Amino acid sequence: MDTAIWTEKYRPQKFSEIKGQNEVVKRTEAFVRQKNMPHLLFAGPAGIGKTSLSLVITKQLFKGNWRENFLELNASDERGIDVIRVKVKNFARTRSIGEVPFKIIYLDECDALTKEAQQALRRTMENYTQTCRFILSCNYSSKIIDPIQSRCSVFRFKPLSKQDLFNIIDKIAKNEGLTVDSKAKKALYEISDGDCRRVENILQASAAISKKITETLIYEMASVARPKEVKEVLTFCVKKDFVNAKNELLKTMLEYGLSGLDIIKQIQKEIWALEIDDRKKLEMVKECGEAEFRMVEGSDEFIQLESLLSKFVLINS
């Protein structure tokens, strides 16, 4: 089963179907009505509608001719200067088909482009403005060089709210004949961090097992430990019981197949739910940051996690 199917199936076709980005949608809809627009830069986390909005803009502008007037490239796959000089330039230099006087090039994950490729892109954006508009999508706009940012109208996307995600879940559940209980919805929201694509993929994987979607099934499919299990580890630390804390953590990691980086993010979240002094919470979060940095740099994750738990015990002594 291809878990990208639902993502495409439920991709918005109209501006009204895009959830959680009201201001961005309002402004881009105005461009479509005028049949004119500047270069656009979409910045924000993954799975919140950047690609979907680009496709809606294109389909609303070009109607039946949208495929001939739209080029989509993923810059993380093709990040070199040759892509800009050959593929992009060849598409940009030809005129559009239909009433709209320009084509659209959508560059996804353009923060992965090398600096040289970004410089080449800057010149291409300048030279072919008459026949082409660019929509650049990125997670971090700070990685885009200033000359490109100054040529674009910048739109910042925000993670989807709990209610927006619940509405999407309800729509999918209705269309697919699923029963999703309230605890499962809450679990989906907490796991996804506002990423709609992740919600759809987890739901599709869960629906292959059962039409009745429960909290337990969601956590199993997402390979994420339940908050209560992580909290149990932290409770042992607060009680200064290092051995049980270590055993519970290893058991949880093995049961869900979690890496050190996965579990440390969950630990950091659950620290704030502990009933301890706020100063101790701050010290514990600080230690999480230190342990995560060491893991990213290549340290052994089990040694780092044991060290982290021992520091938690000392903080609460």
CATH class of 227-315: mainly alpha
Q: Determine the Cα–Cα distance for residues 311 and 242; give it in Å rounded to an integer.
A: 10
Architecture of the structural domain at 21-156: 3-Layer(aba) Sandwich (3.40)
The region of weakest confidence among 68-82, 95-109, 261-275 is: 68-82
Would the CATH topology of 21-156 be identical to that of 162-222?
no
DSSP letter string, 53-122: HHHHHHHHHHGGGTTTTEEEEETTTS-SHHHIIIIIHHHHTSPPSSSSS-EEEEEETGGGS-HHHHHHHH
- Helical axes 260-271 vs 278-296, angle rounded to 10°: 170
Over 70: is that where the pLDDT of 152 sits?
Answer: yes
| Domain locations in the chain as residue ranges | 21-156, 162-222, 227-315
- Residue 242's pLDDT is 94
Cβ atoms of 18 and 25 closer than 8 Å: yes
Q: Determine the Cα–Cα distance for residues 312 and 99; give it in Å rounded to an integer.
A: 65
Residue type, 107: L
pLDDT tens digits, one per residue of 222-278: 877 788 889 999 999 999 999 999 999 999 888 888 888 889 988 998 999 888 999
Among 8, 70, 58, residue whose Cα is nearest residue 28: 58
Under the banding of pLDDT at 50, 70 and 90, the label for residue 83 is low
Q: Determine the Cα–Cα distance for residues 282 and 183; give it in Å rounded to an integer.
A: 29
pTM: 0.78
pLDDT tens digits, one per residue of 11-38: 888 888 888 888 889 999 999 898 889 9
Of residues 14 and 314, more confidently modeled: 314
Q: Taking residues 92-106, report their average pLDDT.
A: 85
Give the torsion sign (CA, 233, 234, 236, 241). Answer: positive
- Residue 238's pLDDT is 92
Q: Determine the Cα–Cα distance for residues 41 and 194; give it in Å rounded to an integer.
A: 20
In the chain, the percentage of residues whose pLDDT exceeds 90 is 30
Q: Determine the Cα–Cα distance for residues 232 and 228; give it in Å rounded to an integer.
A: 6
Under the banding of pLDDT at 50, 70 and 90, the label for residue 77 is low
- Helical axes 196-209 vs 182-192, angle rounded to 10°: 130
Q: Determine the Cα–Cα distance for residues 168 and 174; give it in Å rounded to an integer.
A: 10
- Residue 1's pLDDT is 44
**Beta pairing class for 70-74 and 103-108:** parallel
pLDDT tens digits, one per residue of 182-208: 898 988 888 888 888 888 888 888 888
Q: What b/e string do you get for 270-309 counting C-beta neighbours within 10 Å, with b at 16 or more? A: bbeebeeeeeeeebbeebbeebbebbeeeeebeebbbbbb
Phi and psi at residue 129, to the nearest 5°: -60, -35
Cβ neighbour number for residue 212 with a 10 Å cutoff? 13
- Residue 82's pLDDT is 65
Ranges 18-22, 122-126, 311-315, most confident:
311-315
| Topology annotation, domain 162-222 | Helicase, Ruva Protein; domain 3 (1.10.8)
74-78: long-range contacts (C-beta < 8 A, 24 or more apart)? 74/108, 74/109, 75/107, 75/108, 75/109, 75/110, 75/111, 75/112, 75/113, 75/117, 76/108, 76/109, 76/112
Distances (CA, A) of 224 to 130, 134, 189, 208, 254: 49, 38, 13, 18, 11
